[in-house]
Chain A
């Protein structure tokens, strides 16, 4: 894909909505297009985390290996969403395994490249971190709801 096409693709991704042209140029140097076939493993728990994905289409499942029960899927990430932030936080290791639940296209951003740019350009770094913080906040809220097991909750009020 040409640089021009990649720029357009980046601009269209909701994670980068409102990103300045200057920051977009900075980001572009770390970006490439990737495609994963159904059931392809994108990364594995414990491996070095060096990529940040902006999902364009398809669906990625995050799995945890549950001894005795096999892999459990605990979350999916779909079009317009982002996959992975372990590339940002030391010791840069994945905490989950990611598998393409269906054929998936994404923009891969090189984690080390991105870290270096965040460090050398604090404005760019703050913008990226702010966007990631919003994603983390909404994922944390969703995880809290999942922990409630709300569909299994029966209050004494309705126990008949």
Chain B
């Protein structure tokens, strides 16, 4: 067996060792999702990450949770994690205040292959909190906007109030020449935007399928239907990349909790090229 253990993250000597970091800011994106901005302190220099990677966030005495990094990889010093309050660790994180200290180790996992999109159209499809791991991609693409043709962001949420980064979504469209289409499952009469599933937004964009690279992140059921739609529209499967989420425990390939078929998500994922996991997505047992 070759290289079972995931590579040691950049700038880290012991991959199981958490570093203390300070909570600089907490922004509630909606009723149950918040963004922690962390002050990396002395660790700011050596800590480098790529879009799509995650950290293990540690609440002392409570436990760890794997959380994607959602900030701009080119900005050092501060780091964002957008977190959905769903369990013990994330509920505990939600109760933290500015100035509190938490533990952090990482970054782990594979990243979105941004170079694969150079000279092509980029279509980013996300649902719910799935926009968080794709946000660093948008920052990176916007920073080198001329290297890509069209950049399209399709984003689906439960309701208008559940949407993440609402101000930024507008900014991306207005300032960065990014085609941003947002849809919700339901809305009240004040909502003028799209209502329906995220795959329905494909009806409003004309994809140059062969020249499009797609990055997809959201609930697995949403990704499954999105992949079907991309295939129906002729996007080559090796141009499609997905981020998977499973029970990430050790993050370094020791424990096996995140096993997904023959792969460990912490080691080979969370970002996979579609051909690698397409057969696994059809398997009910997985």
Please give the residue numbers on chain A whose beta carbons come within 8 Å of chain B beta carbons, in ascending order. 38, 59, 61-63, 70-76, 78-81, 99, 101-102, 141-142, 145-146, 148-154, 157-160
Contacts A72-B186, A158-B86 given: A146-B196 contact, CB under 8 Å?
A: yes
Interface string of B182-210 (1 = CB under 8 A from A): 01011111011111110110011000000
Between-chain CB contacts (< 8 Å), 28 pairs: A59-B192, A59-B194, A61-B191, A63-B189, A73-B186, A73-B189, A73-B191, A75-B196, A76-B183, A78-B203, A80-B204, A81-B203, A101-B193, A142-B199, A145-B199, A145-B221, A145-B222, A146-B185, A146-B186, A151-B156, A151-B157, A151-B158, A151-B162, A157-B246, A158-B247, A160-B66, A160-B88, A160-B90
Q: Which residue of A lies closest to B62 (CB)?
A: A160
- B158: chain A residues within 8 A (beta carbon): 149, 151-152
A80 and B203 form a contact (CB under 8 A): yes
- B63: chain A residues within 8 A (beta carbon): 160
Cβ-based interface call for B245 (8 A)? yes
Cβ 8 A contact of A160, one of B86, B129, B203, B225? B86
Contacts A73-B188, A151-B219 given: A142-B200 contact, CB under 8 Å?
A: yes
- A142: chain B residues within 8 A (beta carbon): 196-197, 199-200
B195 and A61 form a contact (CB under 8 A): yes
Q: Which residue of A lies closest to B198 (CB)?
A: A145
- A151: chain B residues within 8 A (beta carbon): 127-129, 156-158, 162, 185, 218-219, 222
- B65: chain A residues within 8 A (beta carbon): 160
Cβ 8 A contact of A76, one of B88, B194, B199? B194
Cβ-based interface call for B279 (8 A)? no
Please give the residue numbers on chain B whose beta carbons come within 8 Å of chain A beta carbons, in ascending order. 63-66, 84, 86-90, 127-129, 156-158, 162, 183, 185-189, 191-197, 199-200, 203-204, 218-219, 221-222, 225, 245-247
- B157: chain A residues within 8 A (beta carbon): 151
Q: Cα distance A52–B165 when bound, in Å?
A: 38
- A76: chain B residues within 8 A (beta carbon): 183, 193-196
Q: Cα distance A151–B196 when bound, in Å?
A: 13
Least CB distance from A129 to B in Å reads: 21
Cβ 8 A contact of A72, one of B128, B188, B218? B188
Q: Cα distance A25–B24 when bound, in Å?
A: 67
Contacts A73-B191, A78-B194 given: A160-B219 contact, CB under 8 Å?
A: no
Q: Cα distance A78–B191 when bound, in Å?
A: 15
- A141: chain B residues within 8 A (beta carbon): 225
Contacts A81-B203, A154-B86, A160-B90 given: A70-B196 contact, CB under 8 Å?
A: no
Q: Cα distance A156–B18 when bound, in Å?
A: 25
Least CB distance from B85 to A in Å reads: 10
Q: Cα distance A63–B204 when bound, in Å?
A: 21
Q: Cα distance A71–B191 when bound, in Å?
A: 11
B188 and A70 form a contact (CB under 8 A): yes
- A152: chain B residues within 8 A (beta carbon): 158
Q: Cα distance A38–B95 when bound, in Å?
A: 43
11 other A-B residue contacts (CB within 8 Å) besides A63-B189, A75-B196 = A61-B189, A61-B195, A73-B186, A75-B195, A78-B203, A79-B204, A142-B199, A148-B221, A150-B128, A150-B218, A151-B158
